[in-house]
Structure 1
Amino acid sequence: MLFWQSYKKIVTLHKIVLRFGMKKTIYSPRLNNSTPSMVVVGNALPLLDELLADKRVIVITDSNLMDNYASLISRYRHIIIGQGEQCKNLATVEYIHRRLLEMGADRGSYIVGFGGGIVTDIAGFAASTFMRGIGFGFVASSLLAQVDASVGGKNGVNLDGYKNIIGTFNQPDFVLCDLSLLKTLPKREMRAGMCEALKSAIIDGGEMFDIFENYDFEQICSTPELLFRVVSGSVELKARIVAEDERESGVRKLLNLGHTFAHAIEKCSRKYVHGEAVAIGIAIISLFSKNIGELPDNDYKSIMKSIENIGLPHRCDDITMEALAEAAKSDKKRTDETIDLVLVRGVGECFIRKFGIDEICKVLQ
């Protein structure tokens, strides 16, 4: 693909594989030639003390993580926030800012978001806006956070049911994706996170997609090498794309595969967690790509099989198409009367095409 050829000319992605335990460190270049954002996958937690040495740390986490990792989190001053999408809003950010002031935080303070995608999104946004920005890093405790939410520098909160409609582009100094943290994750959350990895596999193709096509959810979760390849492969793909398009003006939009309809689903119903909505969104856009003659039937069947292998839904009969179309109109990727949709031409070959709002309504019909 031309993208990968041009990428090699633009930036070199540094990778270091350390040979004690499974560990891979991936560096994602940042704008203005600043120090690259570092993502460590595998046996990553032992690095935390070294990364935070001489820093005035304040951890942001939720009550569940505090219960499970009290001995680790209690080493630092911390702020505990609520759980769930209903807490991912400006009120929570204001609460964090007020607590930071009460704790005497200043521009030399350092935020660590310890948690899943909701915690890292909120912590990154709070750090990026407190005193016009202070340093921050993440310990990603969920699969969703490790393969997607905590990587790449998107930080945001919801407003009136619209996902991530308020936010910033600002990459963390580091992200630790320690696979041992996934042991306490409920299966539903693991499946949801797995869908974001599947999204990356559809975009990238090759070996990572083969894993999803040939192994089921239980096999991937119970085989450390497979899980490591899924997480590290997702991070590597995102790092390559973000290196070329940090602010999502071009090729980074590919990472929105399935998300226009997923966000509409989440606005219409609280029945689905994010990864489940993304699975349905991928199914919708794959079927549409097939129906307009872009996606061959064999590739469509492979994508649907992979969704089924994870055990995720591929339809939402409880939401009317009219409601879904209305929600899609407020997608944050909308420009005037058009939205950039990511379509699928084949596994490993996605592309972006503008559609009018009325055309999207027809897609849903």
Structure 2
Amino acid sequence: MIETEIKGCKIAFGQFPVDLKRFLTGGKQIFIVDEAVWDKFGRYTTLSSVIKVKGREEFKTLETVKRIYEILLDQEADRYTWLIGLGGGVVLDITGFVASTYLRGVPYGFVPTTLLAQVDASIGGKNGVNFKGIKNVIGVINQPSFVLIDTNFLNTLPRKEFENGYSEIIKHAVIGGKELFETLELMPLEEFQNKKFIERLIWESILVKAEIVKRDEFDFGERRKLNFGHTFGHAIETTYRLSHGYAVALGMILEARYSMEKGFLSRGDFIRIESLLRKFGLPTSPPKISERVLNRIRGDKKREDKFIHFVIIDGIGSSRIEKVMIEEVMEVLNGVCEHR
């Protein structure tokens, strides 16, 4: 079994549910499961206790968290009870947040069922919910005990869900995985959903993120690189109701374009980023930055007064963080969008 570890969290490929026993250390188990996943796979499992939730962003709220707290109290869940998130990024975020706050913390783990969740949402210990239209503004950083990646769940995913996952893989490649980027450039499109090829990409993507998180678990420095594409992406996602991967792709275009306009990123490397996103079916023509988008960015958790911790791309696989004025970024990018 291929395995790595981040700050006490074991990450491994395996089969659900048979490989769960490798990670669990006593106590009863309660599964927080995406309704859609349960509808597809529930009849094939014999899980002891299940709380079903809707796996969409509009349900990633304190109201959903409150409902789960009430069920946990009714079931007399104690501090030794395991919470196990089974689903995509929304369900994992909710599970991690509930587990980190119920009884001041209970053990938990993840079984991600989408490509996006396997390469990104399940990795790193960030758990949170949305509030007043702002993504993940209430949350914690607390590592799960384990992440079990079973790529058999990908067999039923529609193509768009693969595209969403590839968006995050490309993000990791741009910020710190030059060889991964080149692999993606050379990858034949007929391998797009090839299980063996995808397992390699998942693992290489995880390793990029894992190394960053190991050096900066609590997001005060280098970990901010993982926000590439998300400063604008989150604002676009909530404003225009786009999927996460599509919105992050548009965010990457805008944020890489800023690096190019400021002279940090060559035009050739910008075109390579844009071309790779297109290759995997992702959008590359961002909308004009509206006042609604701007207001959401002003409320972003990465903001510090009038500044934002912005990811500068110096080249493929090379990035850094720079504190820049929000209005300066807007001025540069609005000029670009107007003359596109």
Partner of 1:8: none
Partner of 1:66: 38
1:149 and 2:144 aligned: no
* Contact 2:312–2:320 (Cα < 8 Å) also in 1: yes
1:39 and 2:8 aligned: no
User: Which segments of 5 or more consecutive residues in structure 2 lack a partner in the other structure?
Assistant: 335-340
Shift in Å, 1:46: 3.4
Partner of 1:262: 233
Please show how residues 332-347 of structure 1 align to structure 2 within 5 Å: 332-347=301-316
Shift in Å, 1:325: 2.0
Structure 1 253/73 Cα, relative in aligned 2: closer, same or farther at 3 Å? farther
Aligned length: 334
Partner of 1:352: 321
1:208 and 2:180 aligned: yes
**Which of the residues 176, 193, 202 maps onto 1:231?**
202
Distance 1:216 1:195 in 2: 17
Distance 2:62 2:279 in 1: 37
Partner of 2:286: 316
Partner of 1:196: 168
Shift in Å, 1:320: 4.4
1:285 and 2:255 aligned: yes
* Contact 1:325–1:364 (Cα < 8 Å) also in 2: no
Shift in Å, 1:211: 2.2
Distance 2:291 2:72 in 1: 44
**Which of the residues 26, 35, 48 maps onto 2:4?**
26
* Contact 1:221–1:227 (Cα < 8 Å) also in 2: yes
Structure 1 228/205 Cα, relative in aligned 2: closer, same or farther at 3 Å? same
- Counterpart amino acid of residue 279 in structure 1: A
* Contact 1:66–1:73 (Cα < 8 Å) also in 2: no
1:305-349 CA distance string (max 9 Å, x none): 1101110001233x5433322221111111111101101110011
Per the normalisation by structure 1, the TM-score is 0.88
Distance 1:285 1:143 in 2: 23
Structure 1 320/342 Cα, relative in aligned 2: closer, same or farther at 3 Å? closer
* Contact 2:55–2:88 (Cα < 8 Å) also in 1: no
Distance 2:16 2:54 in 1: 26
Distance 2:222 2:41 in 1: 38
1:73-99 CA distance string (max 9 Å, x none): 542201011231010000000000000
The DSSP-based 3-state class of the residue aligned with 2:23 is helix
- 207-216 or 111-120, larger mean C-alpha shift: 207-216
Distance 2:243 2:188 in 1: 20
Identity of aligned residues (%): 39
The DSSP-based 3-state class of the residue aligned with 2:55 is coil
- Counterpart amino acid of residue 220 in structure 2: S
Shift in Å, 1:55: 2.9
Shift in Å, 1:216: 5.4
* Contact 2:113–2:154 (Cα < 8 Å) also in 1: yes
Distance 1:326 1:218 in 2: 41
- Counterpart amino acid of residue 322 in structure 1: E
- Counterpart amino acid of residue 307 in structure 1: L
The DSSP-based 3-state class of the residue aligned with 1:163 is strand
Per the normalisation by structure 2, the TM-score is 0.94
Distance 2:190 2:145 in 1: 33
The DSSP-based 3-state class of the residue aligned with 1:60 is strand
Partner of 2:193: 221
Distance 1:302 1:44 in 2: 37
- Counterpart amino acid of residue 349 in structure 1: S
Distance 1:269 1:353 in 2: 28
- Counterpart amino acid of residue 125 in structure 1: F
Shift in Å, 1:69: 1.6
* Contact 2:12–2:149 (Cα < 8 Å) also in 1: yes
Distance 2:91 2:118 in 1: 12
Partner of 2:277: 307
Structure 1 88/216 Cα, relative in aligned 2: closer, same or farther at 3 Å? farther
- Counterpart amino acid of residue 318 in structure 2: E
Shift in Å, 1:111: 0.3
Shift in Å, 1:235: 1.1
The DSSP-based 3-state class of the residue aligned with 2:300 is coil
Distance 2:149 2:180 in 1: 18
Please show how residues 129-144 of structure 1 align to structure 2 within 5 Å: 129-144=101-116
The DSSP-based 3-state class of the residue aligned with 1:52 is coil
Shift in Å, 1:354: 1.1
The DSSP-based 3-state class of the residue aligned with 2:193 is helix
Distance 1:41 1:148 in 2: 15
Shift in Å, 1:143: 0.7
Partner of 2:300: 331
